[in-house]
Amino acid sequence: MSAGAGRRAVGRRSLLLPFTRKFLLATVVGILAVSLVPETVFQPLNRLTALLVGDLIRLTGLEPVVRGTRISTGGFSVNVIAECSAVQLMVLYAAFTAAFPAPRAGKWIGWAAGTVLLFTVNIIRIAAVTLVGRQFPDWFETAHVYFGQLGMLVATIAVCLLWCRWQSHADRLNGPAAFCLRFLIFSSLPFLFWIHLNRLYVGAIDTLIGAFFRLNGLQLVIPRTHHLYYQTFSLIALGGLLMAVRGAGPVMRLRWLALGLVALTLFQAAFRLCNVWITAFGFEWLAPLSQLVYNICVRALPLAVALGFLVNVRGQREPAG
């Protein structure tokens, strides 16, 4: 490596620490604020989302009925809540644009355009999932999880990359289209397997929680009545995102993946533990904390790890020539 190339590499690495610090701080503040705000605050956005979804479905020739946040079509209905409105992902995108080194005008333009793009993609997603539920009710939960969690996470990553490319006038991080394609390839098959395995994973966590309470003389029976535990699909999202990033060696990729999976599993356990305290012991005051843990587990942590990994890989890459 030449002296000039070495200086450029050191310069890029020196930008990573401030970016990571700012991004994590903005993410924590934003997710904390969204998690603690009552659902009623987001009702206007939820109603707007439902209204636009209804308008989009009408383009297919159907006549959905929209009442407030509920959309009904052909005997099938969905209810739009804050989580469906992608508020958390918009907050995470705002954290990324705020932390990334760019002129202030570029940040504001990128934030506004990216938020509108994410909102539009989310409208299309809800409409598509609703139509799937109308035609194939048994597939609704699967489509809802895949396109709601994995799909919107990768859409947020893609919008971040689009903004970075526009900001730098170069392929600073990665091509969004190629990244999305790789994500789909790496996440699709694990997702299909996880549909059948997620209950076993939750069961293993519940076993550990039960053992913890038995040490304190309490015998718990934790029922598992759901076919799909939505929060667990963040594991597939994280794996797909990390595998979709180009330029990382296998050791580095496995190290980040292992650390990310361990962190996610801890948050999965914390979420289940919060639910036990709320349902078995009546500690309703833990509900906001449970929602905060859920948001971190499902969206913030996979996205933060993936973006940190992506920026770290690109920052360490040697310049061509």
* The predicted structure's pLDDT at residue 10: 45
pTM value surpassing 0.85: no
d(CA 116, CA 111): 9
- Least confident window among 92-101, 165-174, 208-217, 295-304: 165-174
Q: In the predicted model, is pLDDT for residue 302 greater than 90? A: yes
* The predicted structure's pLDDT at residue 6: 46
Residue range 251-271: average pLDDT? 94
User: Residue 296 gets which letter from DSSP?
Assistant: I
pLDDT tens per residue, range 50-85: 999 999 999 888 999 999 999 999 889 999 988 888
Q: How many CA atoms lie within 13 A of 19 on its CB side?
A: 19
Average pLDDT of the chain is 86
d(CA 254, CA 81): 36
Looking at the chain, the whole-number percentage of residues with pLDDT higher than 90 is 45
Q: How many CA atoms lie within 13 A of 67 on its CB side?
A: 4
Residue range 95-108: average pLDDT? 88
Q: Which run of H or E residues covers position 65?
A: strand 65-67
Instruction: Say how many C-beta atoms besides its own lie within 10 A of residue 273's C-beta.
Output: 19
* The predicted structure's pLDDT at residue 164: 82
